[in-house]
């Protein structure tokens, strides 16, 4: 009999545990240690819960602890792993128990970046990573805050700002970069900034937070900032930190396991931890590989976590049962999508500077087009920016900003980048066409045609 211990009960951990429970004989144990009170939930849905578009936390749970227990997983809620001994193959918990394992799966997720600034530990200054975090924001809204400040304008910052706008709360966003969503090229980021200000958000760019001001009870009442306009204090009854995340890998690092980008645990394509027998890792706590550049990246998304959990389960089961493994995780092309109110935003692959840094000579084109035949009622507008390599004509990256139904256009580009297609190949793709859905040339193909012209000039 073998025992698999999984640390972490969300996307990667429970995907691995559930698949292992289905594949392994019943005499094998699958033990999951989850320090929180939820399993298998969508953290990405938290902003929409806060906005009131999702009813409650239960709506974001794909499978409850009770359901996992019913399927034969030894799930231990409220139990935290505090130490690993990879030589003795044991996990120590916060209750003092030492659990022996034959295979260990690390799936601790990520943790919000929390700046070390005066007042940051005050009441009402919240991160958003777990359902518990989301509940704390919901609870804070019961006090009817008049002013909310969101620090950071990446994906989570943008989505939380939208949630507060929908609720009618005066919202300010503080961003140290010149524009929001700085992973976009400048013309597209400018469209996002215009949309934010158009919905009444006070957007402070090129601005740093220097401290948080607290009242006598220790609750936040203001955010002190400094920037090109000098120092200022933004009123705040609630602050949400949207500064991104780091891998939650302190447990692994303390045990001597290798870590890389943003603390991500280093693994191979079968999610085996590099240089350590019997240990696998998956999800937001690992680094992965960009398929275009070959470089390591940390990209915390549920899509990757679920796939990596599948790969872990396949490799662990194959190892324990003496069978050949079938799956690998080949890496990512950094595809992402979000929205701000009616504006949809998506990207995949490399931006111009990323392409240069990777040794390419990029050609960049940007086109404006419609999301369907222009003569159809309510046809919307979108911008597609495309990056291609001058020497090979290979498609390197695509970014899309536009109205409803614009964002998912990026999926065709993500597929083309993964397949290492040229822009000429993209022009000739057999993509779906009917007037209610697209013009004769898909928006991605319109951009590809512009790229071809630029390359041929």
pLDDT of residue 227: 82
Which pLDDT does position 371 carry in this prediction?
84
Question: What contacts 454, CB < 8 A, 6 or more positions away?
Answer: 363, 365
Q: Which domain holds residue 194?
A: 125-241
Q: Are residues 168 and 216 in the same domain?
A: yes
Q: What is the pLDDT of residue 228?
A: 73
Last residue of a domain, one of 241, 257, 273: 241
Domain end, chosen from 290, 321, 352, is at: 321
Q: To 5 degrees, how large is the angle CA 96–CA 98–CA 102? A: 155
What is the bridge-based pairing of β-strands 110-112 and 245-247? antiparallel
User: Which pLDDT belongs to residue 202?
Assistant: 96
Read off the pLDDT band of 249 (50, 70, 90): very high
| Residues known to be catalytic | 44
Nearest-angstrom CA–CA distance, 135 and 140: 9
The reported pLDDT for the residue numbered 374 is: 79
What CATH number does residue 426 fall under? 3.50.50.60
Nearest to 442 by CA among 20, 455, 416, 456: 416
The count of domains in the chain is 3
142 and 236 in a single domain? The answer is yes
Clarify whether residues 72 and 133 are in a common domain.
no
Average pLDDT, the chain: 95
**Does 352 map to a domain?**
yes
pTM of the model: 0.94
Residue 267 included in any domain: yes
Mean pLDDT calculated for residue range 250-275 = 97
Q: Is 116 within a domain? A: no
Asked whether residue 44 is domain-assigned, the answer is no
Whether residues 281 and 216 fall in one domain: no
Least confident of 4-8, 101-105, 227-231, 419-423: 227-231
pLDDT in tens, 196-216: 999 999 999 999 999 999 999
133 belongs to a structural domain: yes
Same domain, 305 and 226: no
Alpha carbons within 13 angstroms on the beta-carbon side of residue 100 total 4
Residue 33 has pLDDT above 80, yes or no: yes
Residue 48 lies in a domain: no
Please give the share of the chain, as a percent, with pLDDT higher than 90: 91
Report CA-CA distances (Å) from 218 to 95, 212, 213, 233, 411.
Answer: 32, 10, 9, 17, 46
- For residues 106 and 146, membership in a common domain is answered with no
Taking only the tens place, the pLDDT of each residue in 347-394 is 999 999 999 999 999 999 999 998 888 788 888 899 999 999 999 999
Cα–Cα distances in Å, from 39 out to 17, 130, 311? 12, 10, 19
């Amino acid at each position: 009999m073998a025992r698999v211990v999984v640390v972490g009960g969300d996307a990667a951990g429970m995907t691995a545990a559930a698949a292992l429970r289905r594949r392994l004989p019943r005499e094998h144990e699958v033990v999951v240690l989850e320090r929180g009170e939820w399993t298998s939930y969508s953290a990405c849905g938290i902003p929409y819960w806060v906005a009131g578009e999702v009813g409650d936390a239960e709506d974001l749970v794909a499978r409850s602890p009770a359901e996992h227990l019913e399927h034969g997983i030894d799930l231990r809620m409220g139990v935290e792993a505090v130490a690993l001994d990879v030589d003795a193959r044991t996990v120590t918990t916060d209750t003092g128990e030492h659990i022996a394992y034959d295979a260990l799966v690390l799936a601790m997720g990520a943790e919000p970046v929390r700046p070390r600034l005066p007042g940051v530990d005050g009441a009402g200054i919240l991160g958003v990573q777990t359902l518990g975090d989301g509940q704390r924001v919901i609870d804070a809204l019961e006090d009817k805050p008049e002013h909310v400040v969101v620090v950071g304008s990446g994906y989570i910052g943008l989505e939380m700002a939208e949630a507060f706008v929908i609720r009618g709360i005066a919202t300010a966003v503080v961003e140290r970069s010149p524009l929001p969503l700085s992973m976009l090229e400048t013309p597209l980021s400018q469209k996002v900034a215009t949309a934010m200000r158009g919905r009444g958000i006070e957007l402070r760019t090129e601005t740093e937070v220097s401290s948080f001001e607290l009242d006598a009870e220790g609750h936040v009442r203001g955010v002190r900032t400094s920037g090109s306009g000098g120092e200022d204090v933004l009123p705040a009854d609630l602050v949400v930190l949207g500064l991104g995340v780091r891998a939650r890998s302190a447990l692994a690092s303390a045990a001597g396991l290798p870590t890389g980008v943003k603390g991500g645990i280093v693994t191979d394509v079968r999610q085996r931890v590099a240089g350590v027998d019997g240990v696998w890792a998956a999800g937001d706590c690992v680094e992965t590989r960009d398929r275009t550049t070959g470089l390591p990246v940390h990209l915390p998304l549920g899509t990757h976590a679920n796939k990596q959990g599948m790969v872990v389960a396949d490799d662990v089961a194959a190892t324990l049962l003496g069978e050949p493994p079938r799956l690998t995780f080949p890496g990512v092309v950094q595809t992402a999508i979000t929205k701000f109110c009616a504006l949809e935003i998506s990207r995949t692959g490399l931006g111009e500077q990323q392409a240069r840094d990777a040794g390419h000579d990029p050609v960049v084109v940007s086109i404006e087009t419609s999301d369907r035949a222009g003569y159809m009622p309510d046809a919307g507008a979108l911008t597609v920016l495309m990056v291609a390599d001058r020497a090979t004509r290979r498609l390197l990256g695509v970014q899309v900003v536009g109205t409803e139904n614009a964002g998912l256009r990026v999926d065709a580009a993500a597929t083309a980048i993964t397949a290492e297609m040229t822009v000429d190949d993209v022009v000739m793709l057999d993509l779906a066409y009917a007037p209610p859905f697209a013009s004769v040339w898909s928006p991605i193909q319109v951009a590809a045609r512009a790229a071809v012209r630029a390359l041929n000039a």
